[in-house]
Amino acid sequence: MRKAHILKSNRNSEFPAHCIFFDVESELIMSNDKIIHKPYLIVSCYVNFETDYEDWQTFTNPQEFWIYVDTKTQKKRKTVLFAHNITYDLISSGGFRTLQERCYKITNYYEKGRVFILEMNNVEQSKKLLLLNTGNFYSGGVADIGKMFGIPKMEMDFNNPTLEQAIPYCKNDVLIIKTAMTSWFKFCQDEDLGGFARTVPSQAMNAFKHRFMTHPIYLHSNNKVFELERGCYYGGRVECYRLGKFDGKYYYVDVNSMYPFVMLTKEYPVRLVSYRKKPSFDYIRLLIAEGYLLCCKAIVNVDIPFSYIPLRYDKKIIFPIGRFETFMTTPEIIKALDDGIIESFLEVSFYEKVNIFESYVNFFFNKKQEAKQNNDIEKQMLYKLFLNSLYGKFGQKGGGWSICSETDREGSGYERVYFADIEQEGSFKWFNNIMFKLLPETESYNSFCAIAAHVTAYARLYLYDIIVKAGFKNVLYTDTDSIFVNEVGYNNIINMIDKYKLGYLSLEMMSENGITLYAPKDYVFDEKVRHKGVPEKARRINENTWEITLFPKLSTFIRANNVNQYFNVNMQKTLKRQYNKGKVQESDVIPFEFTYQEGKNCLIT
């Protein structure tokens, strides 16, 4: 359990001094149902940012590259390695094996989605390595990043590669990631955004604490309130209101920086005042009148066909009708009180409030607009990243895989162990003679989930108001900060169209050829085709099935007992296209209906 504390400012401004950027090229070998990657080339660039010294190297023996990494790492210094999809480069080149042979031990490991962080120390020689995925900072592939910085990705024949072709191709990829990370360092230093962090959200938090935190934020340690705040923290609204193919003219409209907009214009919790069970309506209204912000659990009875009251059901956020127990924050509570939807309050926590994000959002949004006017695509993207990445850090969870001991077990693996004395199971995995234990999710040290919960609630209600203004019957689909709307609906909101103003609307696309809606994040809008979980390069087999190539994460290789040989597999992915956020009646979707019985939410079928 964490201790209550005040969020500390960040005065550090250090950035990596010694970096190695690298890329691996491999020969592809079919072996049963797997594609084995046998590396034949590594190109690297070592940079000493203190002296502006660069050292480009080419290796045809992967082991020699990792020996080079060791020799370039000075005593009492840290070398930071960057590669795009570094999991692939590290495993395919046998990096774990060679570094272990050279007495490096894992001291920290984290992998989730695009984020990869690995720390290794050679204690005897006081050397440290930090391996980071450039995907921690930039989305998309190397080609996308290269386009941003004006360095086109080269072409190569992967079926019959030669060193003469591969060396310049690989070197160009390294140049792209080196340019991207060097630009990232310079951007953060020029804008005085705090010391180097290992992901964009962490860098955003460093920036906030370094120069934009104008009011103290008090982080509590109340477990009951933690649970209540977590219950109130929902994601964005993603729903289909109609399904199928629709002819005619449709508009894809997006809110300009919706989360930054509500961060700028609203106030947020800065200190927990108290927690109460079963408060009266008069008590809640008094808290609101006195200017407090609230998180609550309540029983509601919703009878409007298009609702704003969220419910977490089957790991999804839905907006049903009927009687049910749910969690809400201040803006939803105020609106629900006005509409007479709330039956009773079960729990409430309330907070002092301040506009904590005003200077942060004003700075980055104005800078983004300036870059847009100067047609500076790189800076636009970087300012946008900071605008969208901060609030989620306040909702961050702790826990995950943690080193518990060294082990003499060889290879790697994963197992679940039952502890009879405490009647609990534990999950463990090991590789490179280090044992990891899966810790339960907890509040991270600097989280304040009530802040993140209010950001997303304000945003959902802002989107709700836009849909109401467009006319619910005119909106076919919504996804977090965007809507698909017909011509009547578009004309209803046309006075909100202004691509330069924060919180206004931008017309992203218009289709005169109709649209097709299959499910959330699965649609065809003119030339924009999106199928959730299907990569652009996937080969389509039929209407609902694609052949995709999986690039596994490190956890897959740990389970396979081989963290020194990379493989991928081809598999078929079939989209079920079953809508599960409401009842489908022909082409229309109507809300699920719930009833509340014996303390449980029950779906009426």
What digits encode the pLDDT tens for the residues 46-65? 999 999 999 999 999 999 99
Q: Which residues in the chain are classed under CATH 3.90.1600?
A: 221-357+448-522
**Which pair of tokens denotes residue 577?**
């296209």
Q: What pLDDT score was predicted for residue 422?
A: 55
What is the torsional sign of CA 517, 521, 522, 524? positive
* Strands 321-329 and 593-597, bridge-based pairing: parallel
Tell how strand 127-133 and strand 77-83 pair up: parallel
Confidence of residue 426 (pLDDT cuts 50, 70, 90): confident
Helix (H, G, I), strand (E, B) or coil at 399: strand
Q: What is the CATH number of domain 221-357+448-522?
A: 3.90.1600
Task: Give one word for 52, left, alpha or beta, with left for phi > 0 and alpha for psi -120 to 50.
Answer: left
- Whether residue 420 is predicted with pLDDT greater than 80 in this model: the reply is no
Q: What is the pTM (predicted TM-score) of this model?
A: 0.94
Confidence tier at 423 by pLDDT (50, 70, 90): low
Q: Residue 162 — very low, low, confident or very high, per pLDDT cuts 50/70/90?
A: confident
Confidence tier at 179 by pLDDT (50, 70, 90): very high
d(CA 324, CA 597): 9
Per the CB < 8 A criterion, the answer to whether 242 and 589 are in contact is yes
Where exactly does CATH 3.30.420.10 map onto the chain?
17-195
Residue 64: which residues within 8 A CB-CB, separation 6 or more? none
C-alpha to C-alpha distances, 142 to 83, 102, 173, 525, nearest whole angstrom: 10, 31, 7, 26
pLDDT over 60 at 411, yes or no: yes
Q: What is the secondary structure of 468-537 as a DSSP string?
A: HHH-GGGEEEEETTEEEEEHHHHHHSGGGB-TTSTTSEEEEEEESS-EEEEETTEEEETTEEEETT--TT
* Averaged pLDDT for residues 225-237: 98
**What sign does the CA torsion over 584, 585, 586, 589 have?**
negative
Q: Note whether 297 and 326 are within 8 A (CB).
A: yes
Q: At the topology level of CATH, where does 17-195 sit?
A: Nucleotidyltransferase; domain 5 (3.30.420)
What is the torsional sign of CA 44, 48, 52, 55? negative
Look-up of token digits 């070592």: 46
* Contact present, 478 and 466 (Cβ < 8 Å): no
Residue type, 12: N
- Across the chain, mean pLDDT equals 95
Question: Mean pLDDT over residues 247-270, rounded?
Answer: 97
List Cα–Cα distances, 558 to 358, 425, 570, in angstroms: 45, 20, 20
Question: How much is the average pLDDT of 65-88?
Answer: 96
In tens, the pLDDT along 435-448 reads 999 999 899 999 99
Distance CA 426, CA 511 (A): 53
- pLDDT at residue 158, as a whole number: 80
Q: What pLDDT was estimated at residue 417?
A: 84
Tell me phi and psi for residue 147, to 5 degrees. Answer: -60, -40
pLDDT of residue 418 exceeding 70, the answer is: no
- 31 pLDDT band, cuts 50/70/90, is confident
Rounded to whole angstroms, the Cα distance separating 415 from 281 reads: 50
pLDDT, residue 421, reads: 63
pLDDT single digits (tens) 577-600? 999 999 999 889 999 999 999 999
Q: Residue 10 has what pLDDT?
A: 87
What is the predicted pLDDT for the residue at 332? Answer: 98
Residues contacting 51, CB < 8 A, separation 6+: none
State the pLDDT confidence band at 305, using cuts at 50, 70 and 90.
confident
Structure tokens at 301: 């009875």
3-state SS assignment for residue 242 = strand
Q: What is the pLDDT of residue 161?
A: 80
Measured CA to CA, the distance from residue 446 to residue 397 in angstroms comes to: 9
> In this predicted model, what pLDDT tens digit does every residue of 337-380 receive, in sequence order?
999 999 999 999 999 999 999 999 999 999 999 998 999 999 99
